[in-house]
Chain A
Amino acid sequence: MSDVRKLTYGGAFNEAVRQAMEADENVFCAGEDIGAFGGVFGTFLGLQAKFGANRVVDTPISEQAIVGLGIGAAVTGLRPIVDLMFMDFICVAFDQIVNQAAKLKYMFGGEATMPLTITTGGGGGLSAAAQHSQSLEAILCHIPGLKVVYPSNPYDMKGLMTACIRENNPTVMVKHKRLLGMSAHVPEDNYEIPLGKANIMRAGTDVTVVAYGRMANETLAAAEKLATDGIECEVIDPRTLQPLDTDSITESARKTHKVLVVHEAVKFGGLGAEIASQIHELAFDYLDAPVARIGAPFSPVPFSPALEQHYLPDAASIEAGIRNLVQRS
């Protein structure tokens, strides 16, 4: 029976948090509107009723202090989950994230541990405009000391969120806002998906496509379509962006000889640039074509759906990108 139990992406997040809080009384949550209201995306629903206002804390609108609260509590022995509603708001808390959370352990000669999870809603596609739609994960991946996780489906969400909470380093868990309602089988029992381990979502021989978050699902849709034309894509979801599972990606590149990286963040300076570079460094001799990239154009996220729909990659543009790449020899 439990094999067929389904949960949404948001529900899987909620269950991971609930089980972690049941298992470890040092785990607590803090963030805006997450207590009585259950979070603006509903991902914290029911937790304050279950664990009390002491463990599920409604904070003021104070992103710097929210992350600072997490840092100070983590370094003194608790295991905080702090929520920054929209990924765009990490910018408000950037000092605490980048100069404090990421570096304390190192600066203190290894003495500090920072079991801190920062959760946030990323991604576009909701006409939420330039300050509520960004994909800023590459910026975070650039900071030594941080780990960055970006699940593409409910099963991964639960296992990765569990791993984040148990992790003894500061971790940013990005929830894609448009995946919150995605439903799939999620085991009730607690389980962990190790950070830094990619998922081969689909095996294939003709081309490797690396994609994460919502784009992993768009890529799968494109791959199924291409399969009817005899093009077999291997789809790899890194799941954790920092540390990145370079081994799995390069191994696949050696097999298929062609790689495309897809993300909805702007292409310039995005994760795709790093992944392409790594493949070029490690598997250049196996490639039949330069690693290709799909990402958003170099502009803020536009409001109008008429613009945003062209701004974000989707199954159709990914399919076109793959067709382009496989034609090369």
Chain B
Amino acid sequence: MDLSPPVQFDLHRRMVRIRVFEEAAGRLAEANKLPGFLHLYVGEEAVAAGVCGALNDDDHITSTHRGHGHLVAKGGDFNRMMAELMGKSTGMCKGKGGSMHISDLSLGMLGANGIVGAGSPIAVGAAFANKYRGRGQVAVAFFGDGATNIGAFHEAANMACALNLPIVFACENNEYGEFTPRSATMAITDIVDRAAGYGMPGVIIDGMDVVAVHEATLEAVARARAGDGPSLIEAKTYRFYNHHGIQNLGLKYRPDEEVAKWRERDPIFTFEDRMIENGTMTRERVDEIWAGLRNEIEVAIKFAEESPLPTPDQILVDVYTSMTGAAK
């Protein structure tokens, strides 16, 4: 590991923040306290953390239906995120978006997305604007393996390459799209094979290894900032829970042994072991970090629970910038 200790701490903290947030969300969902669909990011933390840790605050990301992890990794505020999941007026989206549309434009997070593949073209637009204004920002499109089967992804990848835009395509290949294995829906094994078709470099990395993700992203981001165009990163990873909801074992479309095998490679625990082994971190310090963040999430849950619900008059607010002339 060549990364300096502060960078390692930063990546670790981003991952633990995601895990703590997601496990709390899972518990709340189990207690029927969260309305709607909940797509947990647990197991894939190294991808969001490794990528976002390589970005500046003013760089942009687009996300997916599995979007909490991306927002947390970009610095998302626990209180307002939790409030959004509960549909409260203090939420990131004032209760109008929920889990599937969680976003924070002030952090360059251009939204989770309910439409598979829809984020990539939007990331292309952000990359275009960044190049246009010449401020050196980059955009990252997060997407799943399944999303690479949809036209929007291909159009986005081609356009980004044709226009030589500062963008990184970050694929979370967790081997499933909903309840169907990747092998049933594409004839290739590696998403990275697609990159060559558009004329961009692509790498496969171990998505359970935050350092590998981070280093690959640093390289891709440097290329983008230098004006050398798009890259694709394929992170091999796994979601520990069901497509949505909180069940993790006994699922009919994937064997429990497979889940257990991936859990052994837990991206957070394995990284902690490595850091402790090479003396960057102590077990006590690790425990402190978890405890501190668990405290923070309890505060956030309380904030969310005590926050007011949006009132019905809010339904027609923010459809347009101005209400004048809008239909009722």
- List residues of A whose CB falls within 8 A of some B CB: 32-33, 35-37, 40, 58-65, 88-89, 91-92, 126-132, 267-268, 297-300, 302-307, 310-311
Contact of B295 with A by CB under 8 A: no
20 A-B pairs whose Cβ atoms sit less than 8 Å apart in the complex: A36-B184, A61-B146, A61-B150, A62-B149, A88-B114, A91-B115, A129-B114, A130-B101, A131-B101, A131-B115, A132-B37, A132-B100, A268-B327, A300-B96, A303-B35, A304-B310, A306-B310, A307-B310, A307-B315, A310-B315
Contact of B178 with A by CB under 8 A: yes
**Roughly how many angstroms separate A298 CA and B319 CA in the complex, as a whole number?**
8
Q: Verify A302–B95 contact, CB threshold 8 A.
A: yes
Set of chain B residues within 8 Å of A302, measured between Cβ atoms = 95-96, 310, 314-315
Q: Verify B177–A304 contact, CB threshold 8 A.
A: no
Q: Residue B98 contacts which of A33, A127, A298 (CB distance < 8 angstroms)?
A: A127
- Contact mask B31-54 → A, CB, 8 Å, 1/0? 000011100000000000000000
**Roughly how many angstroms separate A59 CA and B149 CA in the complex, as a whole number?**
10
Q: Verify B36–A307 contact, CB threshold 8 A.
A: no
Q: A92-B115, A307-B87 provided; 16 other pairs, C-beta below 8 A?
A: A33-B179, A37-B252, A58-B180, A60-B185, A60-B186, A61-B150, A61-B185, A64-B150, A88-B114, A131-B113, A298-B326, A299-B316, A300-B319, A303-B87, A304-B88, A305-B87
Given A88-B114, A306-B310, answer yes or no on A60-B146 (Cβ-Cβ < 8 Å): yes
Q: Residue B147 contacts which of A36, A61, A63 (CB distance < 8 angstroms)?
A: A61
- List residues of B whose CB falls within 8 A of some A CB: 35-37, 87-88, 93, 95-98, 100-101, 113-117, 146-147, 149-152, 177-180, 184-186, 252-253, 309-312, 314-316, 319, 326-328
**Roughly how many angstroms separate A303 CA and B315 CA in the complex, as a whole number?**
10
Q: Verify B87–A310 contact, CB threshold 8 A.
A: no
Set of chain B residues within 8 Å of A37, measured between Cβ atoms = 178-180, 252-253
B176 CB to closest chain A CB (Å) equals 10
**Roughly how many angstroms separate A63 CA and B147 CA in the complex, as a whole number?**
11
Set of chain B residues within 8 Å of A306, measured between Cβ atoms = 87, 95, 309-312
A257 CB to closest chain B CB (Å) equals 27
Set of chain B residues within 8 Å of A61, measured between Cβ atoms = 116-117, 146-147, 149-150, 177, 185
**Roughly how many angstroms separate A35 CA and B326 CA in the complex, as a whole number?**
44
| Chain A residue at smallest Cβ distance from B116 | A61
**Roughly how many angstroms separate A59 CA and B180 CA in the complex, as a whole number?**
9
**Roughly how many angstroms separate A35 CA and B180 CA in the complex, as a whole number?**
9
Q: Verify A307–B96 contact, CB threshold 8 A.
A: yes
| Chain B residue at smallest Cβ distance from A86 | B114
Set of chain A residues within 8 Å of B101, measured between Cβ atoms = 129-131, 303
Q: Verify B114–A127 contact, CB threshold 8 A.
A: no
Q: Residue B185 contacts which of A59, A88, A92 (CB distance < 8 angstroms)?
A: A59
Q: Residue B95 contacts which of A59, A132, A303 (CB distance < 8 angstroms)?
A: A303
Set of chain A residues within 8 Å of B93, measured between Cβ atoms = 303
A67 CB to closest chain B CB (Å) equals 12
| Overall SS of chain A's interface | loop
Given A130-B101, A131-B101, A304-B35, answer yes or no on A62-B151 (Cβ-Cβ < 8 Å): yes
B13 CB to closest chain A CB (Å) equals 29
Set of chain A residues within 8 Å of B319, measured between Cβ atoms = 298-300
Q: Verify A307–B114 contact, CB threshold 8 A.
A: no
Set of chain A residues within 8 Å of B177, measured between Cβ atoms = 32, 60-61
**Roughly how many angstroms separate A307 CA and B93 CA in the complex, as a whole number?**
13
Q: Verify B115–A88 contact, CB threshold 8 A.
A: yes
Which 5 pairs across A and B sit closest by C-beta, in order of nearness? A304-B87, A131-B114, A303-B98, A60-B149, A304-B95
Q: Verify A32–B98 contact, CB threshold 8 A.
A: no
**Roughly how many angstroms separate A186 CA and B101 CA in the complex, as a whole number?**
39
Set of chain A residues within 8 Å of B253, measured between Cβ atoms = 36-37
Set of chain B residues within 8 Å of A298, measured between Cβ atoms = 316, 319, 326-328
**Roughly how many angstroms separate A280 CA and B316 CA in the complex, as a whole number?**
29
B184 CB to closest chain A CB (Å) equals 5
**Roughly how many angstroms separate A126 CA and B99 CA in the complex, as a whole number?**
13
Set of chain A residues within 8 Å of B37, measured between Cβ atoms = 128, 132
| Chain A residue at smallest Cβ distance from B186 | A60
Most A CB within 10 A of own CB, among B114, B117, B319: B114
Set of chain B residues within 8 Å of A305, measured between Cβ atoms = 35, 87
**Roughly how many angstroms separate A300 CA and B326 CA in the complex, as a whole number?**
13
Q: Verify B114–A130 contact, CB threshold 8 A.
A: yes
Q: Verify A64–B185 contact, CB threshold 8 A.
A: no
Given A37-B252, A88-B115, A297-B315, answer yes or no on A129-B180 (Cβ-Cβ < 8 Å): no
Q: Residue A304 contacts which of B96, B179, B252 (CB distance < 8 angstroms)?
A: B96
Given A36-B253, A61-B177, answer yes or no on A129-B36 (Cβ-Cβ < 8 Å): yes
Given A32-B180, A40-B178, answer yes or no on A128-B95 (Cβ-Cβ < 8 Å): no
Q: Verify A130–B97 contact, CB threshold 8 A.
A: yes
Q: Verify B95–A297 contact, CB threshold 8 A.
A: no
Q: Verify B150–A63 contact, CB threshold 8 A.
A: yes
Most A CB within 10 A of own CB, among B100, B152, B252: B100
| Chain A residue at smallest Cβ distance from B117 | A61
**Roughly how many angstroms separate A59 CA and B177 CA in the complex, as a whole number?**
11
Given A61-B149, A304-B35, answer yes or no on A36-B180 (Cβ-Cβ < 8 Å): yes
Set of chain B residues within 8 Å of A92, measured between Cβ atoms = 115, 150-152
B318 CB to closest chain A CB (Å) equals 8
Most A CB within 10 A of own CB, among B116, B146, B179, B186: B179
Set of chain A residues within 8 Å of B150, measured between Cβ atoms = 60-64, 92
A95 CB to closest chain B CB (Å) equals 10
| Chain B residue at smallest Cβ distance from A269 | B327
Set of chain B residues within 8 Å of A310, measured between Cβ atoms = 312, 315
Set of chain A residues within 8 Å of B185, measured between Cβ atoms = 58-61
**Roughly how many angstroms separate A37 CA and B184 CA in the complex, as a whole number?**
12
| Chain B residue at smallest Cβ distance from A37 | B179
